[in-house]
Amino acid sequence: MTPVVREVRAKSILTRSQIYPYVINPYTGCQHGCSYCYARFMKRVTGHREPWGEFVDVKANAPELLRKEVLQKKRDRVWVSGVCDPYQPLEAKYRLTRQCLAILADNHWPVTIQTRSPLVLRDIDIIRNAQEFEAGFSIGTADDAIRRLFEPSAPPISERIAALETLHAAGIRTYAMIAPVLPGAQGLAAQLAGKVDFIVIDRMNYHYADHIYREHGLEEFLSERYYEQVRRELAAR
């Protein structure tokens, strides 16, 4: 699906967040368009009429803003990103995430990168040399058939795990974010072994994707029992 792409000028880029002290979203909208995505509220905030996943506003002035804002704000950890994937396909062309990471690294700001895309490997030179950068992948299942049901436009699971392995082998602190816990997450503990420094697990029950569970007879994987099974397996790894 080719998204409707608009280049826009943002008013600010380094904003306060409830998850980490700051967040940077170089894009509004996300080409991955995951079925369960909580960030779809951005449609309402920005007045977009297109379905979630089919529009992207490119904040073309993000690096220009960030260069000023890192000098004006108190240094603290920055989440890249919160309501978009910083390495969605358009980043290959626009390189906004790369430019922002370079500015944060030059100014010694700590950064937590979160993505579903191996495009992050393009920036391994910046990430490896920065002082307090960590990079993680969102991976909700070990089963790529399940991934295709819930996240058809996001990169395959095997590519994410291979990218984590490369980052980890490069000496970068890595993590996996398992949220939501999709069906087929039971095998993740084994697949992630030796490739991550830590794992975060969260139910993330936003219910946008409940219809997929119903349509494919997967309701048992919405249960507390299943979540606890995966959580215990990951805790014991």
**Contact footprint for ligand SF4 (CB under 6 A):** 30, 32-34, 37, 39, 83-85, 116, 154
**Considering beta carbons, is residue 83 or 176 the nearer one to ligand SF4?**
83
**Considering beta carbons, is residue 31 or 70 the nearer one to ligand SF4?**
31
CB of 30 to ligand SF4, least distance (A): 3
**Considering beta carbons, is residue 114 or 174 the nearer one to ligand SF4?**
114
CB of 33 to ligand SF4, least distance (A): 5
How does DSSP assign 24-90, residue by residue? --SEES-TT--TT-GGGHHHHHHT--SPTTSEEEEETTHHHHHHHHHHHS----EEE-SSS-TTSTT
Distances (CA, A) of 232 to 195, 201, 237: 19, 11, 9
How many whole angstroms separate alpha carbon 176 and alpha carbon 197?
9
CB of 85 to ligand SF4, least distance (A): 4
**Considering beta carbons, is residue 105 or 209 the nearer one to ligand SF4?**
209
CB of 22 to ligand SF4, least distance (A): 17
